[in-house]
Structure 1
Amino acid sequence: MIDAKYEYGTKVRLISNVRNDGSFPGKMKGDLLLRRGSEGYVQQAGMHLQENVIYQVHFIDQNVIVGCKETELMDAALPWIDNEFEYGDRAQLTINLASQGVILAKLGQVVSVISVDRDDPESIQYRIQHGELDVMVPARALCAVKDDALPEVEMLNDHVA
């Protein structure tokens, strides 16, 4: 008997991006199939390797049916905050980043997002990289890159200690 958390017809939400593991036809292995936050309906549940519950979920808006691990899903009725950035995105700092009074990266500088931390459903954090700097910052520390700020930001990058 399967100890499934979600029953047939339950509306669920992805809490992590789903990429092709090589089993989805017409897509390359590693291609993004569905973005975190996408909602779908459970069609059935089964076991994989006798230890992982896998759900067949129909994502109606994308017209895609995908197998999802229980750890990739949450009840769609629960509160959700969408993240603005994903791995590989560039973002701009809305604050100075400092350690022991030394500014490591200045407000307005462009950084690379290397991961999204959603452990706390009420607060998203991003792991960012800027030169040698590799830190976690709250979502409020980042904004979309402003095109008119790029020349100034690139000039500032040359002067970061």
Structure 2
Amino acid sequence: MIEERYDEERFEFGEAVRVTRNVRNDGTYPGREIGDLLIRRGSVGHVIEVGTFLQDQVIYTVHFLDHGKMIGCRAEELISADAPWNPSRFEFRDKVRCNRDLPTADGVIASGTEGEVLKILREREPLLYHVRFPGKTMQVPEIVLDPADPANFREPEE
């Protein structure tokens, strides 16, 4: 029995795609330090190759012509360039703090509680996030979140 993968052949050669999260060097981009920002979320490029990594991950080589870079991206990092794009202040794995008390079915998550962004729901207005707070994951609007470390937080470019 052949098992189908959800991301196989998701994007076609030449298709315009948008990267949904900042892409940093994981050590595979030559001439840059590990952790260096390679491309900002929201940037549009074109698929020039589809390959695999470790035989189980589909990797799309995307040419970001405006930035002069070709970067390998996973399917979950890409959407069609024609898909609605709702920019977000935070991204996956960002540390955030709630700026007001958040009522829950079994209590309250107090203002100032730190959490981590797990997912961004861009299809909605207002933009929503899945945030993991201690002991609870909640879906919350962007307006109730602030950076956990404001001194080191960089606001996204408009």
Normalising by structure 1, what TM-score?
Answer: 0.64
The answer to whether structure 1 residue 55 and structure 2 residue 57 are counterparts is: no
Task: Report what 2:29 is aligned to.
Answer: 24
Specify the structure having the higher radius of gyration (Cα): 1
Distance 1:62 1:124, change over 3 A: farther
Picking from 123, 127, 139, the partner of 1:121 is 123
Assess if the C-alpha contact under 8 Å between 2:16 and 2:80 holds in 1: yes
Superposition CA RMSD, Å: 3.0
Instruction: Provide structure 2 residue ranges, at least 5 long, that are not aligned to the other structure.
Output: 1-7, 148-158
When normalised by structure 2's length, the TM-score is 0.65
One-letter amino acid matched to 1:16: R
Superposed counterparts of 1:105-120, under 5 Å: 105-106=110-111, 110=112, 112-118=114-120
Against the structure 1 CA distance between its residues 61 and 52, is the aligned structure 2 distance closer, same or farther, given a 3 Å change threshold? same
State the distance in 2 between where 1:144 and 1:124 align: 14
**Structure (1 or 2) with the greater helix fraction:** 1
- When residues 68 and 103 of structure 1 are mapped into structure 2, their CA distance, relative to the original with a 3 A threshold, is closer
The alpha-carbon distance between structure 1 residues 112 and 55, as it changes in their structure 2 partners (threshold 3 A), is same
Runs of 4+ with deviation above 6 angstroms = none
Unaligned runs of 5+ in 1: 146-161
Q: Percent identity?
A: 32
State the distance in 1 between where 2:72 and 2:90 align. 24
Give the partner amino acid of 2:144: L
Using a 3 Å threshold, how does the CA distance of structure 1 residues 63 and 89 change in structure 2: closer, same or farther? farther
Does the 8 Å CA contact 1:88/1:112 hold for their aligned counterparts? Answer: no
Q: Distance in 2 between matches of 1:53 and 1:102?
A: 42
